Chains A and B, each alone.
Chain A
Amino acid sequence: DIQMTQSPSSLSASVGDRVIITCRAGQNIDISLHWYQQKPGKAPKLLIYGASALQSGVPSRFSGSGSGTDFTLTISTLQPEDFATYFCLQTYSLPRTFGQGTTLDIK
């Protein structure tokens, strides 16, 4: 199984801040890495697919980068609605595996 290690596990930030979340894969996964946002009581929402492609309808302040084993999700200017939990997912091989999540809360 490919282990996905996300960091940090939690993060406090303010509206307007720039935030970076990282995800490291236990082996090369090319660009088969996707980022999700989840709010309490809701299903995850796809933000970024293929490491860097912005899903339709997602604000451009979200961006992704990386390939191989190291990936980042950047939120350029935090908005109030961005406070949530973020997960990465690898689809390079089975079983699909998720990062443990990063909870972003208001400082």
Chain B
Amino acid sequence: EVQLVESGGGLVQPGGSLRLSCAASGFSFGRFWMHWVRQVPGKGLMWISRTNTDGRTTTYADSVRGRFIISRDNAKNTLYLQMNSLRVEDTAVYYCVRDWLAMNDAFDVWGQGTMVTVSS
């Protein structure tokens, strides 16, 4: 079964750091571009970041550039999001998603999400 499982969310104070992980299984992880997307509960979806297959090419939304770092370990089939200098407005559910190039880059597989709460 193709699956993405996020972990690492939790409560953190403003200015703090958190690292999210996303464990992939059931597919050749190293062959896919991967993304992080977040959603404030009850609100819309926002794209955060993307990495290519070897992790050398990364892109970020303006709101997180310079604070968040996306990375991957293909040997461990795991995607990461290092979040630094966290702000209250970063509070959201964070999803890792798979990019299927052959489907016009549709996000075809999503994890269940991990909640990040930034609050004092």
Q: Could you tell me which A residues sit within 8 Å of B by CB distance?
A: 31-32, 34, 36, 42-46, 49-50, 53, 55, 87, 89, 91, 94-101
Give the interface centre of A36, A46, A99 by most chain B CB atoms within 10 Å: A46
B88-109 vs A, Cβ < 8 Å mask (1 yes, 0 no): 0000000100011001111110
Given contacts A43-B95, A95-B61, contact A49 B104 (CB under 8 A): yes
Cβ-neighbour of B103 out of A50, A94, A96 (below 8 A): A50
Q: Could you tell me which B residues sit within 8 Å of A by CB distance?
A: 35, 37, 44-47, 50, 59, 61-62, 95, 99-100, 103-108, 110-113
Q: Output the least CB separation between B96 and chain A (Å).
A: 10
Cβ–Cβ contact A94 & B106, under 8 A: no
Cβ–Cβ contact B106 & A50, under 8 A: yes
Cβ–Cβ contact A32 & B105, under 8 A: yes
Q: How many angstroms from the CA of A95 to the CA of B35 in the assembled complex?
A: 11
Cβ–Cβ contact B45 & A44, under 8 A: yes
Cβ–Cβ contact A89 & B50, under 8 A: no
Give 12 pairs: A residue, B residue, CB < 8 Å, sorted on A.
A32-B104, A43-B110, A44-B45, A46-B106, A50-B104, A50-B106, A95-B61, A96-B37, A98-B44, A98-B46, A99-B44, A101-B45
